[in-house]
Amino acid sequence: MNKRQPITIKEVAEKAGVSQMTVSRVLNKQNLVKESTREKVEAAITALNYRPNLMARGLAGGRSKLLGLAYYNPSPSYLSALVVSALKHCRDLGHHLVIEDLSDIEDGLDTAIILKRLSSIQLDGLILAPPLSGNSKLLELIQDIGIPTVLLGSTDSRFKQSSVVFDDAAAAYTMTGHLIELGHTRIGFIRGPHELPWSRMRQEGYEKALVDNGIEIDKALIVEGDFTFRSGMHGGDALLGIQDRPTAIFASNDDMAAGVIAAAQRRAIQIPKELSVVGFDDTAIAAAIWPRLTTVRQPIAEMAQASVDIISNVTAEGWNGQPVRMVNDSIHIIERESLGPPA
């Protein structure tokens, strides 16, 4: 019968004829070990098929090699992109990814439970996905626990947490400009929920692009959604129902854009001939509908990877204590079939 973790550092040490400490040093890649000793130890490790016990390391050293990724109610495609990318990078860095569902926090921000979960498992660091990264109560809580944290898609200067952000406003500006270049002037916009900063930023970009191009902002062309397919469909319905309907609709995320396309298809409006639809994010759904969605790419994978890197650095020795704030400014419009010049 295989026991759980039969080989310990002690046995490796004996086999290699050194002390446990030396083995430990080899394990932790400290370079104060003589080459010949290191080789002996490594041989012993391989021979015995030794695997260090993470729990023991965590207890003794304070570093658990565990990174947390907390989310709340994400769109499926966003979540998978995030998880897959973060995970790949964790693997490369020898970390493990623990996923935490913080959905409780809406039911009255149950701080007790969150604190309990987050502080009992010795996380080396925590990545907060939107919209959690914009919840200042939560940020404060987490800062108190003292876990190094990276905010994805949001910064809050009141806290000393690192962040990786994307310039949503600039991206929305670029996309809107692109629509205008093609000749659209009546451009509908489906914004996100008003309480989220991303909603605001994307709308700002949209409005600024209109203004900069001498197009008046028409409030009748702006409706609010909640980033779901359903709400996009409703929003699209509303915009397509008005007199003198828009020739293009820019939805603040891909799910809503897919909803707009659905709404148009129900009314037998041809895309892009009679109506252009563009989205935001370039998640999986953008390429999984027809016509495929023209959209601004949000570099989710890159941002996830950057977050892992930051935590890795912050956790390492010799960190200066300053939060790292990173801005990803790669704005790309992915051209597909849902966009064309106005009729």
Q: CB–CB of 73/44 below 8 Å?
A: no
Residue from 29, 59, 58 nearest 45 by CA:
29
Smaller CB separation from its own copies, 17 or 76: 76
Q: Which stretch binds DNA (CB under 7 A): 58-66, 108-116, 212-220, 253-261?
A: 58-66
The distance of closest approach from Cβ of residue 54 to DNA in the complex, given in angstroms and rounded to an integer, is: 8
Q: Which is nearer to its own copies, 54 or 217 (CB)?
A: 54
Residue 28 or 46: the one with the smaller Cβ distance to DNA is: 28
Q: Which of 1, 29, 62, 322 binds DNA (CB under 7 A)?
A: 62
CA distance 218 to 244: 12
We find the least distance from the C-beta atom of residue 52 to DNA, in angstroms, to be 4
C-alpha distances (whole Å) from 67 to each of 58, 93, 95, 307, 309 are: 12, 11, 7, 10, 11
Instruction: Say whether residue 119 binds DNA (CB under 7 A).
Output: no
For residue 46, state whether it binds DNA (rule: CB under 7 A): no
Closest distance between its own copies and the C-beta of residue 62, in Å? 7
Does position 20 interact with DNA (CB under 7 A)? The reply is yes
Longest CA pairwise span in the chain (Å): 86
**Shorter beta-carbon distance to DNA: residue 40 or 184:** 40
Q: Is the peptide bond before 272 cis (omega within 30 degrees of 0)?
A: yes
User: Which position among 15, 18, 298, 339 is part of the footprint of DNA (CB under 7 A)?
Assistant: 18
Smallest distance, Å, CB 249 to its own copies? Answer: 15
**Three-class secondary structure assignment of 227-255:** CCHHHHHHHHHHHHHCCCCCCEEEECCHH
SS (H, E, C) 130-160: CCHHHCHHHHHHHHHHCCCEEEECCCCCCCC
* Shortest distance, position 299 Cβ to DNA, whole Å: 34
- Distance (Å, rounded) from C-alpha 321 to C-alpha 309? 15
- Residue 53's SS3 state is coil
Q: Is 53 in the site for DNA (CB under 7 A)?
A: yes
Shortest Å, Cβ 169 to its own copies: 27
- Least Å distance, CB 122 to DNA, is 9
Q: Which residues contact its own copies by CB under 8 A?
A: 1-5, 49, 51-56, 58-59, 62, 64-66, 74, 76-77, 79-81, 83-84, 87-88, 91, 96-101, 103, 115-117, 119-122, 144-146, 229, 255, 258-259, 261-263, 265-266, 283-285, 287-292
Strands (E), the chain: 66-71, 96-101, 125-128, 149-152, 162-166, 187-191, 222-224, 248-251, 276-281, 294-297, 325-328, 332-334
Residues at the site binding DNA, with contacts judged by CB under 7 A: 5, 8-10, 18-25, 27-28, 32-34, 36-38, 52-53, 56-57, 59-63
